[in-house]
Structure 1
Amino acid sequence: MLTCSRYFYSVTHFLSPPITTTTTTAVNHLFSRPKPLLLSPPRSYSHSHTMNQDNNKTNTHHQLHSSIEFLTQKPYSPPLWATGLGPVPSHTVSLGHLPTPIHRWNLPNLPRNTEVYLKRDDLSGMQLSGNKVRKLEFLMADALAQGADCVVTVGGIQSNHCRATAVAAKYLNLDCYLILRTSKVLADQDPGLTGNLLVERLVGAHVQLISKEEYGQIGSVALANALKEKLIKEGRKPYVIPVGGSNSLGTWGYIEAVREIEQQVEASGGRLKFDDIVVACGSGGTVAGLSLGSQLGALKAKVHAYAVCDDPDYFYDFVQGLTDGLNAGVNSRDIADVLNAKGLGYAMNTSEELKFVKEIAAATGVVLDPVYSGKAAYRMMEDMAENPAKWEGRKVLFIHTGGLLGLYDKVDQLGSLVGNWSRMDVNESVPRKDGIGKMF
């Protein structure tokens, strides 16, 4: 492991034999030719043993300092290359377990000499896991600065953002009001305790349901403002957080994430330089921050954003609005490549997509969520199979944005894919000793 003064870098290298043919044209066939995955030999490092000892001590100090600062508010200083943006946030609240690790992703059947790495933002916490945490560090600091006693936000019935917001609010002694979009049939019923809903309801969030039809007619902004006005009349001090935490302030979360990636690349001793960054796109703030940071900073990686709702034109316009709000002076179409990964629609999956999620987990141990990273990875691998020359020889960083709890909403569809169980057959020759074990 290499260390630096602030961030640690951990990369587990998995190597599979290079692919010499690219006849595969469909994601369904990606796993048809299993190959052995070999742990690469250890690399030799140029750092002296003494230097590594000193760096380890420094890194341990910073990790301990970071853990002590958890849930505290602190002044914010942007990366040097982002000082021209404005307005610059004055403070953040420490909510995430950062930095999140980067490691080699042993995906089968990649194009020749292509390497894919994972940035594990799904490991940014437990109840707060995922990319939303980074945005909330800035948004919650603003809520506290404005003297709010509660927050209001909007999302789908299994919104990862809403779950993270509900937990962050309670951590900071704020009430949370959630407007959750669901079907017309279910809008008048108890929403249940599946996935993200369980966490939201356990932490005491005030859940209000709205049908997709009403949501489409009124819109998220008007709905949130209506609830805000109602709370103000009741004597509350609400702070509204937009869908996904995606406004110009929330964008700073992934501007800051780019600085974190830069530190990790630097700590690798020059062995890593990413050509591409791949990420799911659901509300636009993550893509805006990554694209802008990569453009302004040292990464200079091409950002590919796979849209899981709406369409690319919508997100180009939305990201443009976010960067304009930071006075960035960039064209969104120049800094991001937005592609369609919506499929059947937001939070809806084909059997092929769910099969892909299951097979990726079985092949690599990495569990993708079905709404965001699952769809983005599915389309990325589909594109690599259909257009291998586009990806050959490139180093790709895939941002895992979390969302594990969303899988619980798909258990009925996943059931037929995970039938690998059986009753244990214990032969009569196995000795019996009654009453042994803590169950008795």
Structure 2
Amino acid sequence: MTSEAKRPKVDDDTPLQNFLRWCDNVGVVLSPKVRVSKEGTVADYGMLAEDDIEVGDVLFSIPRSALLHQGTTNLSALLKREKVSLESSSGWVPLLLALLYEYTAPQSKWKSYLSLWTDFKMLDHPMFWSKEERDRLLTGTGIPEAVDKDLANIQKEYKDIVLPFMAKHADIWNPVTHTLELYMQLVAFVMAYSFQEPPEMEEDEEEDEKPPNPPMMVPMADMLNHVSKHNANLEFTPDTLKMVCVCPIKKGEEVFNTYGQMANWQLLHMYGFTQPYQDNADDTVDIPVANLHKAATKDGNQQLLKEMWEVLQDKGAFVFGKNGCLTDIELHGTLKVLCMSREEFVEFKDNDGWEDDEEDEEEINQAFSNGGLPGLTTKWKQLIHKAARLTIDGYRGTDRDKDLMEDKALLGGLSSRQRNALHVRYGQKTILDKVMELTKT
């Protein structure tokens, strides 16, 4: 079964042909070994190999002048001058204002590119679902909470920053045209199609010391679909961006990019599609630290656990993938705290945490892998097992998920939203079931 993906739906090839001509005019160079097509791809549009492609082959290159962001729009000088007033928690406001303008400007340089999206109905992010539908299909996955936060931030950003800015520059933006609805659609467009250039690192710098670069729209690169086992990567050079083959591609096969190591819940939340759960090697599930706390309160010293909770509650969640815990250091530390005696906990607090000579990270990694979980202490396994059970209990109305996954007729009768939600739920529950199996005592 192929993954569902997102691409603009059109009645004919006119928008695509206009886009390809535009690419020629702006200096996008497409290798003769590939072509953009809606036949033989996992979506309406994707990229196919016209010939065998070898590792290192450049599939296409894009000059930086063809990229669309706040630095290349005709309004770049204004957006740069007003940079301070456009600061926000997302950091996306300048790009979104550029898109609001370029998307509605008849003479936009990017008209042939943006015309691929005559509307944004193909973007089926959960933010466009009704709250009832999100709760019914996605409760327990973490997506409804993420969407509620997104919607609140988008509305606040538009009301507090964008509207006052548009009022100040009413000759360029108009709230009647540049509505909150269009703004929200463009947020989804940026979530689904934009790229971020990795920050330049000095020799002695850590990656998290550098703020992320703002997102940008990269024509042609966003035509490629995503799978976790991809065969092409986007490379950044000072003058151009290049899509480079990273493993052999046979003639007739699709060229796939990657959006990174994305679990299905992240793909659905940010991109509006999923991979079938068994195909997504990067699928994960979160076990909230609150569930580990609840598991501990069932048979522990309640006052002591309350004090421990005050220390631990900011950890959020523990992430499990198909091969074990991905946040093993954090889980290891939390379990150690929850299993302390009163005396040990007092000493822990007095020392402001752990001593420097803690256990070896590689040993911890192994201990919380699927191979190591059965060897944990009985108490630790019991806590993980109970927390996983509490997490599974948080899903709503999913008793038939196994039947739906195993019956092709039933699966085929689901809507795309129902099917995407099923991929998320079932993939997460499969990981949780494995965790429970490995920690059974």
> After TM superposition, is the score higher than 0.5?
no
Tell me which structure has the larger Cα radius of gyration: 2
Q: Which structure has the highest strand share of the two?
A: 1
